[in-house]
Amino acid sequence: MSILTELAEGALEPEYRTTTAPRRSPVRFAVAVTLATALIVVAMLATLRSDVADERSDLATRAKEAEERRDSLSQEVATLDAEIRLLQRSQIQDSGVAADVFALEAQIGGAEVTGPGLVITANDAPSGSGNGKGVIFDSDLSRLINGLWEAGAEAIAINGHRVSTLTPIRSAGSAITVDYVSISPPYQIEAIGDPSVLPSRLARTQAGSWWQYIHDNYGIGFEVFASTKDLQLPGDPGMTLRKAES
């Protein structure tokens, strides 16, 4: 048995028999685990934030490219529409009929028009985005357009988009669309007509009173001034021939 005892006692190196195992503190262990977990969470959040930033940048780039593509297509549509109108007019042999057609196209918004008029600049209040009361809505723009028609405007455009009797002005999320094209403030409304009487006539309409009210009470920007040069408003590309009689 002495041999077995010696083998059992000699199984460990002398250093292991003389060394006392350190005791682990539960508090220190918990702190270490907490710190490790915190580091992992911070690393995950940093990675997630980086992914979100990259995705947001990618979406912004794609949105900008889509807007540029839309603007390019809109310009192409306008160019082709002008060519179509020229071809249509070339088929009219009677000069009187051709003049009547052009006058009607100008009235309904299908043809480009030029003339004196006034310009209105409308903008959200500086603090309007917070409470919603200082924000211009689609109904406000629609009311203003109707007021301009009532005051005697002959042609109107909002941010370069011609407005006709068939032009929808609607809300799309936080944006306003004119003829299904998103626009953003400040809004510039151009109206062809007699600049010496349009402002006073507009002020006497319900639309003029409403806009003066929201300007005074909610801080919405509203400036009306006569244009120093003739306004040039494009035709509405959505105005197409729907009915014809021979």
The CATH number of whichever domain residue 187 belongs to comes to: 3.30.70.1880
Residue 122 has pLDDT above 60, yes or no: yes
Cα-only R_g, the chain: 36
Statement to judge: residues 59 and 117 lie in one domain: no
Do 131 and 58 lie in a common domain? Answer: no
**pLDDT given for residue 15 in this prediction:** 53
- Predicted pLDDT of residue 120: 95
Query: DSSP characters for 194-229?
Result: -TTTHHHHHHTSHHHHHHHHHHHHH--EEEEEE-SS
- Whether 202 maps to a domain, the answer reads yes
7 lies in some domain: no
Q: Which of 72, 93, 128 is the last residue of a domain?
A: 72
Distance CA 40, CA 37 (A): 5
Specify the pLDDT at position 51.
Answer: 75
Same domain for 145 and 227, yes or no, is: yes
pLDDT, the chain, mean: 79
Model-level pTM?
A: 0.61
For residue 161, which of 77, 51, 98, 35 has the smallest C-alpha distance? 77
Are residues 127 and 185 located together in one domain of the fold? yes
* Shared-domain flag, residues 210 and 128: yes
Report which DSSP code applies to 119.
Answer: E
Q: Is residue 19 part of a domain?
A: no
State whether 68 and 122 are in the same domain. no
% of the chain beyond a pLDDT of 70: 72
Residues 40 and 145 placed together within one structural domain of the fold: no
Q: Can you give the pLDDT at residue 49? A: 79
Partners of 181 in the β-ladder: 178
- The runs of H, that is alpha helices, within the chain are 2-9, 14-18, 26-90, 95-108, 128-131, 138-151, 198-203, 206-218
- Residue 201 pairs in a beta bridge with none
Contact residues for 182 (Cβ-Cβ < 8 A; gap 6+): 172, 175, 176
Q: How far apart are CA 91 and CA 31, in angstroms?
A: 89
Domain count for the chain, please give it.
Answer: 2
Answer with the residue of higher pLDDT: 177 or 92: 177
The pLDDT of residue 187? 94
Segments forming the whole domain that contains residue 127: 113-233
Q: Name the amino acid, one letter, at 228.
A: T
* pLDDT confidence tier of residue 134, bands split at 50, 70 and 90: confident
Which of 44-58, 106-120, 210-224 holds the top average pLDDT?
210-224
pLDDT confidence band for 175 (50 / 70 / 90): confident
pLDDT, tens digit, 9 for 90 and up, residues 200-234? 999 999 999 999 999 999 999 999 999 889 998 88
> Can you give the pLDDT at residue 212?
94
Has residue 86 got a pLDDT over 70?
A: yes
Phi, psi for residue 85 in degrees, rounded to 5 = -65, -40
On whether both 117 and 228 belong to a single domain, the answer is: yes
pLDDT of residue 243: 59
Task: Tell me how far apart the alpha carbons of residues 144 and 138 are, in angstroms, rounded to a whole number.
Answer: 10
* Structure tokens, 226: 């006569």
Q: Give the pLDDT confidence score for residue 190 in this predicted structure.
A: 95
1-45 residue pLDDT tens: 555 565 555 555 555 455 455 555 666 767 777 888 888 888 888
* Predicted pLDDT of residue 239: 60
The alpha carbon of 240 is separated from its chain's Cα centroid by a whole number of angstroms, namely 27
Q: Please check the confidence at residue 195 and state whether its pLDDT lies above 60.
A: yes
Average pLDDT over residues 42-58: 79
Q: Is residue 201 part of a domain?
A: yes
- Tokens 């179509």, residue located: 84
The span from the CA of 110 to the CA of 117, in Å, is 19
